Chain A
Amino acid sequence: DTGVSQDPRHKITKRGQNVTFRCDPISEHNRLYWYRQTLGQGPEFLTYFQNEAQLEKSRLLSDRFSAERPKGSFSTLEIQRTEQGDSAMYLCASSLGLQGGLGEQYFGPGTRLTVT
């Protein structure tokens, strides 16, 4: 069990550029979550995948944000035309879906995005 990994750990980009983050969940976990965390706040839910299907999206996820999990393994989160307000820590978590249950979420180290 190598845990949830995220790449890159840090990203600095200029306003208007596109960025893509990757998350590799724990291998047997079928559920994957993306969160955004800003200073002084708890993680805010962005989206959730069960296998390759994106089942839930927050209203926070504007049309500049897109997430994929093409083969039900790793996931990518892309932000197009970045804005300074996108600066945050982007967290990925995975869990093993229990029948009808939520399951414990295991978090990765996060990708810290700074938009200049």
Chain B
Amino acid sequence: AQSVSQHNHHVILSEAASLELGCNYSYGGTVNLFWYVQYPGQHLQLLLKYFSGDPLVKGIKGFEAEFIKSKFSFNLRKPSVQWSDTAEYFCAVNPNTGGFKTIFGAGTRLFVKA
């Protein structure tokens, strides 16, 4: 079955530390990839997406993600986190088979200490 794995369920960082959140998926075909973020008390919102082209994707608030097809990975990075990045981050995959089912990972809770 298709699945998405996020390596860390909880991450605690100090401000200005670098962030990398891992995401791996199990699907051998073409995929559309997403990172969503949910700030405390807010709705899920899109952080960035990859459909095709440059595998290094830049999103909002200084986040970026790199699609490595050979590793079935789409890791999220930010060089220097801020306290306001405290949130839950979800990796999501849509197998590009013409359907619209999106499969989400279990999420990673990030807490940034001021």
Residues of A within 8 A of B (CB): 3-4, 31, 33, 35, 40-45, 48, 50, 55-56, 58, 91, 93, 101-102, 104-110
Contacts and interface: CB of A to CB of B under 8 A. Distances in A.
A102 B32 contact: yes
Contact of A42 (B45, B90, B100): B90
A106 B43 CA distance: 9
B106 to A, nearest CB: 5
Contact of A43 (B45, B46, B51, B104): B104
B80 to A, nearest CB: 26
B103 A45 contact: yes
A39 B41 CA distance: 15
A24 B99 CA distance: 22
Given A56-B99, A102-B32, A102-B51, A42 B104 contact: yes
Contacts of A108: 43
Given A40-B106, A45-B103, A107-B44, 14 more contacts: A40-B9, A40-B107, A41-B106, A41-B107, A42-B4, A42-B92, A42-B104, A42-B106, A48-B99, A58-B101, A101-B51, A104-B49, A105-B102, A108-B43
Instruction: Say whether chain B's binding surface is mostly helix, strand, loop, or mixed.
Output: strand
Nearest to B101: A45
B22 interface: no
B51 A42 contact: no
A110 B107 CA distance: 17
Please list the 6 inter-chain residue pairs (A to B) with the smallest Cβ-Cβ separation, ordered nearest first. Answer: A42-B104, A107-B44, A107-B43, A45-B101, A48-B100, A43-B104
Interface residues on B, range: 20 to 34
B104 A44 contact: yes
A31 B99 CA distance: 12
A55 B100 CA distance: 9
A33 B106 contact: no
B94 interface: yes
Interface string B74-101: 0000000000000000101010000111
Interface string B1-24: 000100001000000000000000
Nearest to B102: A45
